[in-house]
Amino acid sequence: MKGVVKHIVLAKFKEGVTKAEIEKLIKDYADLRNHIKQVKSFEWGTDVSIENLNQGFTHVFETTFATLEDRSAYVAHPAHVKFGAQLFPTLEKIIGIDFVPAPEP
């Protein structure tokens, strides 16, 4: 996984956001790949944890990039900015955190 940057987003949607709206948002999120060439991979899923530590978050999105520069290009890309403006009003809370898998500790 040398050189990979992992961009993780946790989301909790507002009450009243419908299942259909969430599905559309996930489709649009995944579709960013087709507009932003720096996206290396995109995965998502809903929480299946059993430790009672999800703090109410229900969805995870993980996008990877080859370099920090590619990650920055993605963040600034008009398609990403536009998607963010669409996603944000539907969220009760969000965390976005990026990391470069470190060498063995």
Which residues does the annotation mark as catalytic? 74, 77
How buried is 36 (Cβ within 10 angstroms: 0-12 exposed, 13-18 middle, 19+ buried)?
buried
Least separation in angstroms between residue 40's CB and its own copies is 13
Q: Which residue has the tokens 């998607």?
A: 83
- Residue (of 26, 27, 101) closest to 64 by Cα position: 101
54 binds its own copies (CB under 8 A): yes
20 binds its own copies (CB under 8 A): no
Beta strand extents in 1-105 (DSSP E only): 5-13, 41-46, 59-65, 91-99
Least separation in angstroms between residue 59's CB and its own copies is 8
39 binds its own copies (CB under 8 A): no
In the list 15, 19, 34, 50, the residue contacting its own copies (rule: CB under 8 A) is 50
**Please, are residues 7 and 22 in contact by the beta-carbon 8 Å criterion?**
no
51 binds its own copies (CB under 8 A): yes
x/- string (CB under 8 A) for its own copies, residues 58-97? Answer: --x-x-----x--xx--x------------------xxxx
